[in-house]
Structures are given as structure tokens and as C-alpha cells.
Amino acid sequence: MNDMKTKKGTVLIVDDDKFLADMYSVKFSREGYAVGAYLSVADALAALKKGFVPDVVLFDLVMPEHDGFSFLTELRDGGLAKGAVLIALTNQSDDMERIKAEELGCDRYVIKATTIPSEVVAIVGEEMAKKRK
């Protein structure tokens, strides 16, 4: 990850499903992004506190120990990932959960089951472009 400046941006992935975390890591890396993938909120928060600076945080809402809502709260309260695009990538299609995530600072809410990985990469690019304006 030494060539971060030549990359499109840096993506932090937080998902307890190792298969999905690995698959998205490969997908984003192939598209020119630098990637940090973590299987728990605790590991992601530790990386952020050690200085990992993402342009985008892609996270699941349903995870053991700490869910995506507590993760968003920690980001906000800890002043972590400031300026990063926050995208929930989840199987939760409940409007109340989407609203709660947005109230906690989530920029976009994406349903895994209806969005293929290449679309997720495109969404990340769109959201980064919006943030840079």
C-alpha cells in the first residue's frame, strides 16, 4: 500500500464475512483502489486510530459484537474517518434501519442481494466524486 497516491482512493471494508471482504478487496484493488479489509469493527477502529485514512468506508450493518450502527457512532464520536464517504453494504432492506444509518452519518445504503460487486465499485466512485465537489 505504499503507492496510495497513485491509486483512485482508499477503501476501508468492514464485514465479518471473510469471503465477501476478500472478494470486495480483490474487486477494488483491480479497479485501482488501495484497500484495507477488516472482519470486525474493533479491528477497523484500531486501524483508523493508528492512522489509516480512508476515502470510503464500506461496512456491513449486521456483525457480531459490534454492529454497523455502533461503528458509525464510534466514527462520529471518535472523530475517525473524517471526510470519508460512509456506505452501508447490507442485506437489511428495512427502511427504519436505512433511516437510522443515515441519521448516524451514512452517505449511501446499498443492499447486497440486489447489487452486484461491479455496481458497488461504481457506487463508491460516484459517492467519492460527489464528496470532492
Within 13 A of 26's CA, how many CA atoms are on the CB side?
6
Supply the pLDDT for residue 133.
Answer: 65
Say what the pLDDT of residue 95 is. Answer: 87
Give the separation between CA 101 and CA 88, rounded to whole angstroms. Answer: 8
| Cα–Cα distance measured from residue 118 to residue 106, given in angstroms and rounded to the nearest whole number | 21
Look at residues 59, 74, 77 and name the one whose alpha carbon lies nearest to residue 17: 59
Q: What share of the chain is helix, strand, coil (3-state, %, to 5)?
A: 50, 20, 35
Over the stretch 43-102, which tens digit does the pLDDT of each residue have? 999 999 999 999 999 999 988 888 999 999 999 999 999 999 999 998 878 888 899 999
Average pLDDT, rounded, for the chain:
90
